[in-house]
Structure 1
């Protein structure tokens, strides 16, 4: 040893200023927050101060530890239910005060009413657990369906069944996600509505059948089966609901219809003025052929995409003169070019080349 060396040996850093000590403090935040939110909050403040004052970390590491302590407290407290409002139920307390005033006496501890557990069937699971704690019951929860799904956001679940044990002061809630139907019993399959068979029905009849089956009509989309007609809106189809008929449907009969299912109805429209008055073999393969089509040869039935034939006399779908012909159907064949007519709604129509090059009625 050099007797002339006066430099003191380097001192070791205290254990409570080391990185492992701070990490242990962060873990303590999570543990205590799960037991007591106020205590976890105090330890979180201490961890934040320690992150900036004790270890020799860079500024961004200290900032990360600060946010980490905060989120550890929130996550741990939320999972354990510490963030729920478990204070006394004001409605129960108010009812007790009213009863006490009615009898004009101050209740003694032995006379105080014991809160009764309310029936929370059909209510939010979060509300049910809050009310159970206010009545001094310990709540439990599980999925009422056979799926055994984890319940994370309790406010998004609805209570279907509750089983209480008054001796143990505990209650178990069986719930399903909001918008789902409750099963007939706890653990039974969810009774989703099933798709009825509406093929061949008029639009009005089909809508009634869907509504009676419990299917949300907002989930229904409409399309046409003809190449020369556009799909109607729901309002347009309802206005002439006995002329529109369902040719195809999706999903098939007896299929489950869940909130994510879209119901498709492919519609065909015909009246007494139309020669073809039935659905095609498949979608988008046939034209709607009206009476009076100058290119139609007078067949009683046709599934061809185009037809040829002799002349035809005047009718609601076409004319042989150049003047007006009265009520016509948009998209129907017509002749000669330049003839005029109106729809049942009074919209002026003119006969002219359509997208396929053949004369059809369209708005003037």
Structure 2
């Protein structure tokens, strides 16, 4: 028999093309159930297509790529690929809890809304800004019973707030920064009322004002005598038992609002002073009677020439009219003229 004319021996089944294609199909099937098993079968399929069937090199290269695609497709269809791409179907959830515990646990309930922060006492504009940053929709209104419009929010202070954590809304009740908060939202403003301090010493008057809720720093001081200068608050406090309140403004019982002017008119005397009482009206009398231009001095000296009297005056005291003349007790000539404060005083002639 001619060996060249002899029929070709039949190829074993596992070296045939259908067998190689079957291995490739098995990659997709097994990877749908187990990514790890499908990966091993893919390696075996790659080796098979390069060794077993009599394919050309480009067919073997295409089959190799196809095995990889089948692995990914099969694993994806079978849910074997997680979000991280690891493909571990039996991986434990975060926190170390087992898959059984996760599947058995009930559906987690939504978290409770976060309570709104306390913004009471803050400027209204800052409170609204912080509330919006926390996710709230902010509103505002006048906390007093006057229903005033709020234009410049930085000049208002939060007294009350009402928040709805479910709807994420918050409403602020505010008053002007210089105003006291009412007892509750919508009540009248609790303005302090002026106490009666007439006749009290300065120290006692300051204590009464503070007890009534009136800041002594907002009080204006004035003098009542024509020949006594107005003391500063520090000077009045230093001799607080000698300064007396002769007049006050506003009157007793008047509401002292933020716009109200508070004034105390003071007189000063001690046990050695000749005058120890308030005048009947402000700027109508002299504490030292001799400072009164109309005061008749019993020690008037007579001039040697024409017999006219010369007034004995005190340097620096108030005088009238401008241009009047006099002498000190030591005989120094004095003239009535404007002093540094604009009032006429006896000055050296």
TM-score, normalised to structure 2's length?
Answer: 0.53
- Counterpart in 2 of 1:144? 143
Residue 273 (str. 1) matches residue 272 (str. 2): yes
- Extract unaligned runs of 5+ from structure 1: 1-103, 296-303, 312-327, 340-349
Contact 2:247-2:266 within 8 A present in 1 as well: yes
The answer for the alignment partner of 1:249 in structure 2 is: 248
Which secondary structure does the structure 2 equivalent of 1:212 belong to?
helix
1:91-240 map, 5 Å: 114-240=113-239
Q: Is contact 2:159-2:175 (8 Å) kept? A: yes
Q: Aligned equivalents of 1:189 and 1:209: distance in 2?
A: 23
3-state DSSP of counterpart to 1:182 = coil
Structure with larger Rg: 2
Q: Offset of 1:202 from its aligned partner?
A: 1.1
Report the CA distance shift for 1:242/1:265 in structure 2 as closer, same or farther (over 3 A). same
- 1:114–1:172: structure 2 CA closer, same or farther, 3 Å change rule? same
Q: What is the match of residue 88 of structure 1?
A: none
Query: Could you tell me how far apart the structure 2 residues matched to 1:351 and 1:201 are?
Result: 41
| C-alpha distance in structure 2 between counterparts of 1:161 and 1:234, whole Å | 36
| CA RMSD, Structure 1 to Structure 2 (Å) | 3.9
CA separation in 1, counterparts of 2:220 and 2:131? Answer: 44
Q: Once the 2 structures are TM-superposed, how far is the Cα of residue 254 of structure 1 from its aligned partner?
A: 1.6
- 1:190 is paired with a residue whose SS is coil
1:175 CA drift (Å): 0.8
Q: CA deviation at 1:183?
A: 0.5
Q: Distance in 2 between matches of 1:234 and 1:201?
A: 16
Displacement of 1:309 in angstroms is 6.9
Does the Cα contact within 8 Å between 1:192 and 1:257 map onto a contact in 2? yes
CA change 1:248–1:269 in 2 (3 A) is: same
d(CA) in 2 for partners of 1:263, 1:351: 43
* Cα offset, 1:252, TM superposition: 0.8
Per-residue Cα deviation, 1:318-357 (whole angstroms, up to 9, x for no partner): xxxxxxxxxx998599x96239xxxxxxxxxx9977769x
Say how many residue pairs are matched: 220
Kept after mapping to 1: 8 A contact 2:226/2:286: yes
Normalising by structure 1, report the TM-score: 0.51
Sort the Cα spacing of 1:143 and 1:248 in 2 relative to 1 into closer, same or farther, 3 A: same
| Change beyond 3 A, Cα 1:354–1:216 | farther
Are residues 1:338 and 2:330 paired? yes
Confirm or deny: 8 A CA contact 1:285 1:305 kept in the other structure. Answer: no
**Distance apart, 1:122 and its partner CA:** 1.3
3-state DSSP of counterpart to 1:132:
helix
Unaligned runs of 5+ in 2: 1-93, 97-107, 300-313, 320-326, 339-344
Taking structure 1 as reference, are residues 275 and 137 closer, same or farther at Cα in structure 2, changes over 3 Å only? same
CA deviation profile, 1:32-82 (whole Å, cap 9, x unmatched): xxxxxxxxxxxxxxxxxxxxxxxxxxxxxxxxxxxxxxxxxxxxxxxxxxx
- 3-state SS of paired residue (2:157): strand
User: How far apart are residue 141 of structure 1 and its match?
Assistant: 1.2
- CA drift of 1:134 comes to 3.5
* CA gap 1:227/1:200 in 2 versus in 1, 3 angstroms: same
Q: CA deviation at 1:275?
A: 2.0
* Residue-by-residue CA offset, 1:254-280 (whole Å, 9 max, x unaligned): 212223222111111112222221111
Q: Matched residues in 1 for 2:315 and 2:209: separation? A: 29
CA distance in 2, matches of 1:330, 1:210: 35
The whole-number CA distance in structure 2 between the counterparts of 1:148 and 1:182 is 14
Counting only pairs closer than 5 Å after superposition, residues 275-290 of structure 1 correspond to structure 2 as 275-289=274-288
Shift of 1:112: 6.3
CA contact (8 A) 2:225 2:286 kept: yes
C-alpha contact (below 8 Å) 2:123/2:157 kept by paired residues: yes
SS in 2 for 1:267: strand
